[in-house]
Amino acid sequence: MSKRTLVALLGLLPAAALTAQNAPPPGAPSHVMAHAKELKWGDPPPMMPPGMRSVLISGDPSKEGPYVIRAKMPAGYRIPAHWHPTDENVTVVSGTVGMGLGDTLDPAKGHSLSAGDFMLVPAQAHHFLWSKTPSIIQVHGMGPFAMTYVNPSDDPRNAAKPK
């Protein structure tokens, strides 16, 4: 091997090491692009009050690891006081929502958030949300995602089943 070839090969080593170092680990999820007009909205999980539509953007909220979901709510939609065991990050994509802290849904104790606004709700913080206008929010965090209503009778999963 000539000296020139050896120098050229040695020059490639740092680039090869950098590429390998920055490559995603085996089994890691691939890159995700979600075009808003192509999202397939569906029914939300059973823990959410009826009337919302939702879509999973990335990840799996039922498992450990990052997830991203969007929720579409009609004006007047309400999520009673609840809490999560992990932090919840919420960005308002469109519309206006109200969010407050406490054990009961009380709009007088809430704050308005409009398109582009963000809120971080720390793990275990009791909070509530309602939509003032038709709205879309994006929620992201680290799973597994869970939700506990402050008042168990507010939990749609506890609703009486028709016989």
Q: Domains in the chain, ordered, with CATH? A: 36-158 (2.60.120.10)
Cα 77 from Cα 75, distance rounded (Å): 6
Which pLDDT score, from 0 to 100, does residue 162 have?
A: 57
* DSSP-assigned letters across all residues of 29-48: PPP----GGG---BPPPTTS
Task: Encode the chain (163 residues) as per-residue pLDDT tens digits.
Answer: 555 543 343 344 443 333 444 455 666 656 778 888 888 999 999 999 999 999 999 999 999 999 999 999 999 999 999 999 999 999 999 999 999 999 999 999 999 999 999 999 999 999 999 999 999 999 999 999 999 999 999 999 998 665 5
Buried b (16+ CB within 10 A) or exposed e, 115-133: eeeebebeeeebbbbbbbe
